[in-house]
Amino acid sequence: MKVLVVGGAGYIGSHMVQTLLDAGHAPVTLDNLSSGHRDAVPGGEFILADLADRSALDAALAAQSFDAVMHFASFIQVGESVRRPDLYYRNNFAHTLNLMDAAVAAGVKRFIFSSTAAIFGEPVAVPINEGHPNAPINPYGASKAMVERALADYDRAFGLRSVCFRYFNAAGAHPRGHLGERHDPETHLIPLVLQAAAGLRPNIQVFGNDYPTPDGTCIRDYIHVMDLCASHLQGLEWLEQGKPSQAFNLGNGSGFSVLEVIRAAEEVTGRSVPVVHAPRRDGDPARLVADAALARDLLKWVPRYPRIEAIVADAWRFHQAHPASR
């Protein structure tokens, strides 16, 4: 299948391009390189363009016949979204409408969207399934929820069928070691812990150690980036088979605490990680864990890397092989 991968130079997008190539598909990456990296695109055609440029999107989609669009080009920093909601509603929602409109105009009927567990807000039940109320508490989560609603309406109006994947905590790196996280600034726990293990930062801050969890620190559901990409491939097959639009929660279903992640990093690296305890952050629930039973049932999706040590080991391999990305 010919697939337009929007944001294919970013963390998850670049792994998706590699997954599509390995599966025998023909990915075409479209990215503005504002946060992605051209050298992270492992193959296939590359188009330098911005979601804000509708004419560029029309030209890209008209130049060849695409079977599907995959969209990874969202802003992802929760704190920034609170400070600058204008950026998040514009890029994550308004510019995504540009892409959806261009897809409809080009006759594309399959759309896969990178959504987030942030659409749920404060959990009322854990683990979180697809029926959990949508009540985002920040503009990042709200912008993603708005796209999900728009996609449902575009399906009814224009026949643009979609699969929305609500990620919990994407982590890890490609097992071959050539792709990994290169965010700037880095805000994700595992690469920050590995930076502390490598001596590139003095310590890792642990926000709160008095939560109602076994060790007092927050529990989160970490999912290997390759397991995410496998689910997207299965989502593509779902749509190719003529199945209806669907949203799926993606996670391992068993969370790991902040201290468990740190201990896993110490085990993998053989180095100690200095820890500084800090007060709780506002809006940090004690436990966020996915119920991914629907993806397992309908897509036959089974995570291949459920152990936190395996996730951390792949991230460390990339970290060691690419010192410039630290």
Catalytic residues: 140
Full DSSP string of 17-60: HHHHHHTT-EEEEEE--SSS-GGG--SSEEEE--TT-HHHHHHH
* Residues 6+ away with beta carbon under 8 Å from 255: 219, 220, 221, 222, 287, 288, 289
Tell me, what amino acid is at 60?
A
Measure the CA–CA gap between 325 and 105, rounded to whole angstroms: 39
Q: Position 192: which residue type?
A: L
List the alpha helices (DSSP H) in the chain.
11-22, 54-62, 78-83, 85-88, 95-105, 139-158, 189-197, 225-240, 258-269, 293-294, 308-321
Residues present in the chain in total: 326
Report residue 188 CA to chain centroid gap.
12
Distance CA 232, CA 22 (A): 13
| Residue 156: strand, helix, or coil | helix
| Cβ pair 260, 193 in contact under 8 A | no
